[in-house]
Amino acid sequence: MSTADAHRAIDAVWRIESAKLIAGLARMVRDVGLAEDLAQDALVAALERWPRTGVPDNPGAWLMSTAKRRAVDLLRRRTLHERKQDQVAIEMEAALDAAVPDLDAGLDDPVGDDLLRLVFISCHPVLSREARVALTLRLLGGLTTGEIARAFLVPEPTIAQRIVRAKRTLTAARVPFEVPRGEEMQARLSSVLEVVYLVFNEGYSATAGDDWMRPALCGEALRLGRVLAGLVPGEPEVHGLVALMEIQASRARARVGPGGEPVLLLEQDRARWDQLLIRRGLAALARAEELGGALGPYAMQAAIAACHARARTPGETDWARIAALYDALAEIAPSPVVELNRAVALSMAFGPAAGLELVDDLVADGSLDGYHLLPSVRGDLLAKLGRPDEARAEFERAATLTRNGRERDLLLSRAARCARELPPHPATEPAKS
């Protein structure tokens, strides 16, 4: 095996095993930062050894036993000045051995519980949102700081700093390595779901740069969501989030044109929608619904996405149902962005004038100032109402607000189209639509 081959194979092993490894170590040493350092040490040992010896049959177990040995050495050194050092080390060793009987024993149990603890600690509210995202990708996704930095288009030292600080914060706050119970559980779970969805969205609709998508992030968020659904199968919102992501991802191929330009939902070639992901998404939504109770915000958004997924042509879309779902979503999770989407649904169900009314309320309200989709939607409605001059101004405004180069091109081309529709002399009466 060449060194390059070995390194690629080790990368693959790391990606598969690192979260379980860190989770298991964190339970033993009660410190996520230390657990990750130990896991990294084991990785370095593998990088030294495996190119010569080949990858062992059970690489996960090899990494774990190597890391455990290092943990014991470290704890010995730390207690060197204490009289009972040997006793401590012996007890520690016994505890470590008892703690991980068999890493490959399956996921229904300690390993699964450890992973869940790791998820909750990575998304702990004591950390900033950015720190939660970086730490989750690092500890649960097995991504390197370089990969995370690239995905988020920030310098690598920034991400490295963010992760170091996050680990320090967790240690300083003495955050226990446990799964929250009772009332705390729901609040902590929504923080976890938020992080996963942030990662997905970062990949799905890149907020900056020329890449319309950063596909690796979408894939990772989907994977994390599915893992989570297996770890807490009784939580409807987890299935709701998975459903939402699967259905949105099903359109990934169709939402980018041959030149890399974005293609809007209703203009997409539905033959390019991924039926496997749609089926998985609808199944996850059904699980969320079967668990009973009122749908949460993610399940409700998934239900909206499902309306589109079920329509074979744009004309078949059940806009009245989508509008009703947005009404319900606005009740449980009110936000200006939900209102904006509700306006779009209303316009599709009951005509552009109905949507424009709501959009104008949002403009007056001012809370979406600077959000490019507000003028973009308003421009669309105005164009449909036969007011191309106003529409063009809105598209141009939207183009100055978006940070995505591809989207800017799309908006400018819509503005240009409006300009072509303008009559030679300014119209004094709005045209009929």
Partner 1 sequence: MRFMTIYKPGVDQETAGPPSEKRMAEMGAFINEMAAAGVLLATDGLQASSKGARVKLVDGDFVVTDGPFAETKELIAGYAIVNVASKDEAIHWTKRFLALMGEGESEIRLMHDFAAFDGEEARQVGAAANR
Cα separation, 90 vs 286, in Å, equals 51
Q: Is 276 in the site for partner 1 (CB under 8 A)?
A: yes
Which residues have CB under 8 Å from 390's CB, separation 6+? 379, 382
Q: Which is nearer to partner 1, 213 or 359 (CB)?
A: 213
Long-range Cβ contact pairs of 322-331 (< 8 A, separation 24 or more): 322/348, 322/349, 323/348, 323/349, 323/350, 325/300, 328/295, 328/300, 329/297, 329/300, 329/301, 329/304
Contact criterion met (CB below 8 Å) for 126 and 187: no
Least separation in angstroms between CB 353 and partner 1: 36
Report residue 353 CA to chain centroid gap. Answer: 35
Q: Does 202 bind partner 1 (CB under 8 A)?
A: no
State which residue, 14 or 395, has the beta carbon closest to partner 1.
Answer: 14
The DSSP symbol for 404 reads B
Q: Does 157 bind partner 1 (CB under 8 A)?
A: no
Minimum CB distance to partner 1, residue 100 (Å): 17
Shortest distance (Å) from residue 194 CB to partner 1: 18
* DSSP letter, residue 428: S
225 binds partner 1 (CB under 8 A): yes
Residue carrying structure tokens 């990575």: 122
From the CB of 155, what's the least distance to partner 1, in Å? 11
Least Å distance, CB 307 to partner 1, is 22
Report how far apart the first and last C-alpha atoms of the chain are (Å, whole number). 68
Is the separation of the CB atoms in 306 and 280 below 8 Å? no
The answer to the question of residue 47 lying near partner 1 (CB under 8 A) is yes
| Binding segment toward partner 1, per CB under 8 A, in 29-37, 106-114, 362-370, 422-430 | 106-114
Which one of the spans 78-86, 226-234, 262-270, 365-373 is the region binding partner 1 (CB under 8 A)?
226-234
Find the angle CA(95)-CA(39)-CA(130) to the nearest 5 degrees: 115
405 binds partner 1 (CB under 8 A): no
Residue holding tokens 């998508």?
213
Q: Is 243 in the site for partner 1 (CB under 8 A)?
A: no
Residue type, 6: A
Nearer to partner 1, 57 or 183 (CB): 57
Tokens of 372: 């490019």
- For partner 1, which residue of 226, 270, 321, 384 counts as binding (CB under 8 A)? 226
Distance from C-alpha of 336 to C-alpha of 363, rounded to nearest angstrom: 10
CB of 5 to partner 1, least distance (A): 9
Nearer to partner 1, 8 or 168 (CB): 8
Strand partners, 209: 404
183 phi-psi bin (left φ>0, alpha ψ -120 to 50, beta other):
alpha
For residue 314, state whether it binds partner 1 (rule: CB under 8 A): no
Of 1, 85, 112, 291, the residue at the interface with partner 1 (CB under 8 A) is: 112
Q: Of the candidates 215, 257, 351, 405, which one interacts with partner 1 according to CB under 8 A?
A: 215
Stretch that binds partner 1, among 92-100, 121-129, 245-253, 312-320 (CB under 8 A): 245-253
Task: Give me the phi and psi of 298, to 5 degrees please.
Answer: -70, -45
- Out of 222, 325, 381, 415, which residue is the one contacting partner 1 (CB under 8 A)? 222
CB of 104 to partner 1, least distance (A): 9
Please give the backbone phi and psi of residue 425, each rounded to the nearest 5 degrees, phi first.
-115, 140
For 334, other C-beta atoms within 10 Å of its C-beta total 10
- Partners of 393 in the β-ladder: none
**Chosen residue from 70, 76, 223, 408 binding partner 1 by CB under 8 A:** 223
Residue 249 binds to partner 1 (criterion: CB under 8 A) = yes
State how far the Cα of 198 lies from the Cα of 252, in Å rounded to an integer: 17
- Which member of 54, 106, 157, 334 binds partner 1 (CB under 8 A)? 106
Alpha-carbon span 189 to 117, nearest angstrom: 11
From 213, 288, 345, 381, residue interacting with partner 1 (rule: CB under 8 A): 213
Buried b (16+ CB within 10 A) or exposed e, 136-158: bbbbbbbbbbebbbebbeeeeee
131 and 139 in contact (C-beta within 8 Å)? no
99 binds partner 1 (CB under 8 A): no
| Binding of partner 1 by 252 (CB under 8 A) | yes
Stretch that binds partner 1, among 105-113, 377-385, 408-416, 422-430 (CB under 8 A): 105-113
Binding status of residue 143 toward partner 1 by CB under 8 A: yes
246 vs 407, beta carbon nearer partner 1: 246
Residues of this chain that bind partner 1 (CB under 8 A): 7-9, 11-13, 15-16, 47, 106-107, 112, 143-147, 149-151, 156, 211, 213, 215-216, 218-220, 222-227, 230-231, 249, 252-253, 256, 276-277, 280
